[in-house]
Chains A and B, each alone.
Chain A
Amino acid sequence: MTASEVLVPTTADEAVAAFGDGAGVTVIGGGTIVMPEITYGRLRPSKAILLGRAGLAGITRNGSTVTIGATTPVAELAGLPAPLGPCAANVGDPEVRGQATVAGNLCAGQGLAAPRGDLQGPLLALGAVVRSVGPGGERSEPLESFLPERESRLILDVGYEEAPAGAWVCLDRPHTHDYTALAVSAVRASDGSVRVAATGVAGHGVRLPSAEINADDPEAAGAAATADVTFEDDALASAWYREQTLPVLVRRALAGLKEAS
């Protein structure tokens, strides 16, 4: 539980400077993912940044653009419309999501035994843009291109355009200490286009393009979606089970979207 250097930046600029190019740095937002790793000896940070007081929290609106600060507690998103709101409300329990941060959730590495990073799904479906620093400096990019590098960059904020309709469906979890085995987000943007994304599939959250092009036919979209993902066994569910249930979740999400429109 000792590190050679622990920094507690009090401004965003200090946080950025502390992070540098990210080499050898462990970022701690809410601590919900990193602290157990430290306690169980799986992670021994040499340099750690505690981000909670760097002023990176808060949700701001500029017209229809919503910007969420990196250390905004997941709980603060719970009242937002689907898919983001219900997804956030389903993370952990009130105490854990009151402490967990949006950026921590987005940057979670692939879980050993269960999927993490639930918010990736809704934000992919919302076409979110991530502003981050790291190697190469600050940049803004769609969440899709950020995700493969999520463990080496520091998110400053994530923004998206409010959408007229959204839906989120998941496999129910037995208890708040469980992760969600599989979830699907669907969004109809103001230009009428539909985006569909899934979490609980191998790696990180992904778009489901085969479902998107069949968005008007939820049943067909569900059947087509399995081609877009790789399924793996984990402690929560087998690959087979996810392959059976993904089409159902896709169908329900798109049906829900139709109803909401």
Chain B
Amino acid sequence: MNLTVNGLAREVESGPLTPLLRVLRDELGVHSPKVGCEQGGCGACTVVVDGAPRRSCLLPVGGLEGAEISTVEGLGTPDDLGVVQQAFTHHYAAQCGFCTSGMMMAAQAYVDGGGTDDREAIQEALAGHVCRCTGYVKIVDAVAAVARGDSFDLTVTAASAGMTSGGDLQ
């Protein structure tokens, strides 16, 4: 069957009952969605399917002929970060990073759908996503910042922060 992943047409050979998560990770080499529970309970596998955020562990690929899938790889690159990626970086919204992919795709879908910086609305939209590290506050800060249209200065380094140089701390 055929899918579009981050704008690229991909041919899929995995069986039709294979979850999209496994297709992305094991067949197509798209590793940003993570295996957290494979039961739909944690949100680490969330990707955007035809504009809507969905748990890829729950989607049999056979029902996705022609679907357009967006993942973190499509949000931006280290040299050209997308705005959600910038916000998550600026606001320290990631610690171990394992929930981050799912959170960002849910966040992207939320702001693309007109979501505001109302914290309760953001929490409701991300309610299915578990983070064991951050306590969620900085994640909500990051999403609110995107919704508000904030811009981010990510050029600060150890040197510019006034630390004496003594090694490459960038």
Contact = CB atoms under 8 A, between A and B. Distances in A.
A99 B54 contact: yes
Nearest to B15: A2
A38 interface: yes
A6 B38 contact: no
14 contacts: A1-B15, A6-B60, A8-B16, A8-B62, A8-B65, A36-B40, A40-B38, A50-B62, A92-B40, A94-B53, A95-B54, A96-B128, A98-B53, A175-B130
B42 A50 contact: no
A2 B58 CA distance: 15
Contacts of B53: 94-95, 98
B62 to A, nearest CB: 5
Given A28-B60, A50-B60, A39 B55 contact: no
B157 interface: no
Nearest to A3: B17
Contacts of B42: 177
User: Size band of the B side of the interface?
Assistant: 20 to 34
A96 B55 contact: yes
A35 B15 contact: no
Contact of B58 (A40, A99, A176): A99
Interface of A is mostly: loop
A48 B15 CA distance: 12
Interface string B53-79: 111011110110100000000000000
Nearest to B106: A95
A31 B21 CA distance: 13
Contacts of A159: none
Interface string A1-21: 111001010000000000000
A2, A39, A40, A175 interface centre (most CB from chain B within 10 Å): A39
Given A8-B65, A50-B16, A177-B130, A94 B55 contact: no
Contacts of B38: 36, 39-40
A52 interface: yes
Contacts of B127: 93-94, 176
A105 to B, nearest CB: 14
B101 interface: no
A61 interface: no
Contacts of A32: 40, 55, 58
B63 A177 contact: no
A168 B129 CA distance: 26
Contacts of B22: 1
Nearest to B18: A1
Contacts of B19: 1, 35, 39
